[in-house]
């Protein structure tokens, strides 16, 4: 029987329990910001996988590009026999990256793999081992990226030991009493307590912490970090796996920084639903590893490169960066209005269309309400809206709706959020 319940039972028997699932739903088909489950029920998708569908499910241009690529070839391994879409995509991404120096790009498959390679490149360039990441940061599920991740449950539990010479500084969070000054001082404290600055290869920071709760890095913090980086010969890596590909109103969120990073990691929405990640950076840094030092069997798959070229075309032709700002404004305005009449919502924040709201008991951010957060996402699921939570305390609800969704669909989803908050509070 092809019901959600029957498939959930088969899943339970066939898969390890470690693979979580936030909604007990099996998809049958999808289009843009909607999908239908195996029982024929319609859902609104405010998650896009996890930030993968900025151009929506089955964008016509992406689908056509992948179909055309399927007629030509699907695999050679780029290091064995090369193909043009990889080079063309690298050229396009280099051209958009901020900073005046020439850029180069390497393609891989997953976000974690992009971060792993950014670390390899930074170490090869500096000849140094140390890495400084931030509390609440998320960088992936491989061994090195788990070491970098600054959130223990559920990611790190039972999986250590992790690679050494990785340290965590504080991330600024005005709502929770961490100033930019505090965060920068915590970096200097690491230089005193843990590792000398001259042995640190890189800082790795998300422009907006994704899994950590949609915490926006203040521009002054980035300026301070860059100053420390320049002072000590340390590289600055922007992990844009979640913020990139147009989510925040610019193609890379770090285009909005007052200073440019040395390396950028990207993945998720880059290829409109196909697996692709990249490291983009200063050409001199990217060229540090010796020939043969970088690559991967599937890295930069032709199907994914074709999809990503179509994503970039969609951004140009459909003005999706402008749309990203407009979607962000619409979501923020509606959630702010809801917050006015809902004391439990203690903050509404974000950058571009990367928008979230935080829940605290009696509106107190120091009493994070993960239970209420769970009830709201469950009430939304009952009303067929897919919402994701995040945050160090699991008390933030984030929105990652396709930028191609219509205003009518956004409003339909926002109405369900208001109803779900009300139902969860009863
Ligand atoms: N970095 C960031 C900022 C992310 O949000 C994620 C995924 N949530 C990753 C890295 C890891 O990406 P992947 O799951 O594709 O390995």
What is the per-residue pLDDT across 29-80, written as a single tens digit (0 to 9) for each? 999 999 999 999 999 999 999 999 999 999 999 999 999 999 999 999 999 9
Q: pLDDT category, 1, cuts 50, 70, 90?
A: confident
- In the chain the first and final C-alpha atoms are separated, in Å, by 36
- From 283, 317, 351, the end of a domain falls on 317
Q: pLDDT-derived band of residue 351, with 50, 70 and 90 as boundaries?
A: very high
Average pLDDT over residues 380-388: 98
For 186-219, give one letter per residue: b (16+ CB within 10 A) or e. Answer: bbeebbeebbebebbbbbbbbbbbbbbbbbbbee
Same domain, 305 and 324: no
Distance from the CA of 265 to the center of ligand 1, in angstroms? 10
In terms of domains, do 286 and 418 share one? no
pLDDT greater than 90 at residue 393: yes
Q: List ligand 1's pocket residues with C-beta within 6 A.
A: 50, 110-112, 115, 138-140, 206, 210-211, 239, 241-242, 267
Do 283 and 333 belong together in one domain? no
Determine, yes or no, domain membership for 67.
no
Minimal CA–CA distance to 137: which of 111, 164, 104, 109? 111
**Ligand 1 closest atom vs CA 140:** 11
Pairwise CA distance, residues 357 & 369, whole Å? 12
| Domain that includes residue 40, residue range | 4-58+319-425
In a domain, 68, yes or no: no
- Check residue 50 and give its pLDDT: 97
Residue 1, token pair as written in the block: 């029987």
Cα of 241 vs centre of ligand 1, distance in Å, is 5
**pLDDT above 90: residue 302:** yes
In this model, does residue 84 exceed pLDDT 90? yes
Report the mean per-residue pLDDT for the chain.
98
Q: Look at residue 65 in the predicted model and tell me its pLDDT.
A: 98
- pLDDT of 188: 98
Neighbour count for residue 333 (Cβ, 10 Å): 12
38 in any annotated domain: yes
Q: Which atom of ligand 1 is nearest to the CA of 277?
A: 15
Residue 123 has, within 13 A of its CA and on its CB side, a CA count of 14
pLDDT of residue 186: 98
Whether residue 182 is predicted with pLDDT greater than 90 in this model: the reply is yes
pLDDT at 328: 98
pTM for this predicted structure = 0.98
How many domains does the chain contain in total? 2
Name beta bridge partners: 348.
Answer: 357
Last residue of a domain, one of 276, 302, 317: 317
State the distance from the centre of ligand 1 to the C-alpha of 40, rounded, in angstroms: 31
């Amino acid at each position: 029987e092809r019901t959600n319940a029957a498939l959930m039972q088969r899943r339970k028997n066939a898969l390890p329990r470690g693979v979580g699932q936030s909604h007990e739903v099996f998809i049958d088909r999808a289009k843009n910001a909607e999908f239908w489950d195996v029982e024929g029920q319609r859902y609104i998708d405010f998650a896009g996988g996890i930030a993968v569908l900025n151009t929506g499910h089955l964008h016509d241009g992406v689908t056509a590009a992948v179909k055309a690529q399927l007629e030509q070839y699907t695999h050679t391994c780029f290091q064995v026999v090369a193909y043009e879409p990889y080079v063309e995509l690298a050229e396009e991404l280099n051209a958009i990256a901020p900073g005046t120096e020439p850029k180069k790009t390497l393609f891989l498959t997953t976000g974690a793999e992009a971060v792993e390679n950014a670390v390899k490149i930074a170490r090869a360039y500096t000849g140094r081992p140390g890495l400084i990441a931030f509390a609440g940061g998320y960088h992936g599920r491989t061994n090195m990226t788990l070491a970098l991740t600054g959130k223990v449950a559920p990611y790190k539990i039972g999986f250590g030991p992790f690679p050494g010479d990785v340290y965590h500084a504080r991330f600024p969070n005005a709502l929770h009493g961490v100033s930019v000054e505090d965060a920068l001082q915590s970096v200097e404290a690491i230089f005193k307590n843990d590792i000398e600055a001259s042995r640190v290869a890189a800082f790795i920071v998300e422009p907006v912490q994704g899994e950590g709760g949609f915490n926006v890095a203040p521009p002054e913090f980035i300026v301070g970090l860059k100053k420390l980086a320049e002072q000590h010969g340390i590289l600055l890596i922007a992990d844009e796996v979640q913020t990139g590909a147009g989510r925040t109103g610019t193609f890379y969120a770090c285009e909005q920084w007052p200073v440019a990073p040395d390396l950028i990691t990207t993945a998720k929405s880059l290829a409109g639903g196909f697996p692709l990640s990249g490291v983009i950076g200063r050409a001199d840094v990217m060229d540090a590893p010796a020939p043969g030092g970088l690559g991967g069997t599937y890295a930069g798959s032709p199907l994914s490169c074709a999809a990503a070229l179509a994503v970039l075309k969609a951004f140009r032709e459909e003005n999706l960066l402008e749309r990203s700002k407009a979607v962000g404004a619409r979501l923020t305005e509606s959630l702010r209005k809801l917050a006015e009449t809902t004391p439990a919502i203690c903050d509404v924040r974000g950058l571009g269309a990367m928008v979230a709201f935080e829940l605290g008991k009696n509106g107190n951010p120091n009493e994070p309400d993960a239970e209420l957060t769970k009830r709201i996402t469950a009430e939304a699921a009952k009303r067929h809206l897919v919402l994701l939570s995040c945050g160090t305390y699991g008390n933030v609800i984030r929105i990652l709706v396709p930028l191609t969704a219509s205003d009518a669909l956004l409003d339909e989803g926002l109405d369900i959020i208001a109803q779900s908050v009300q139902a969860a509070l009863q």
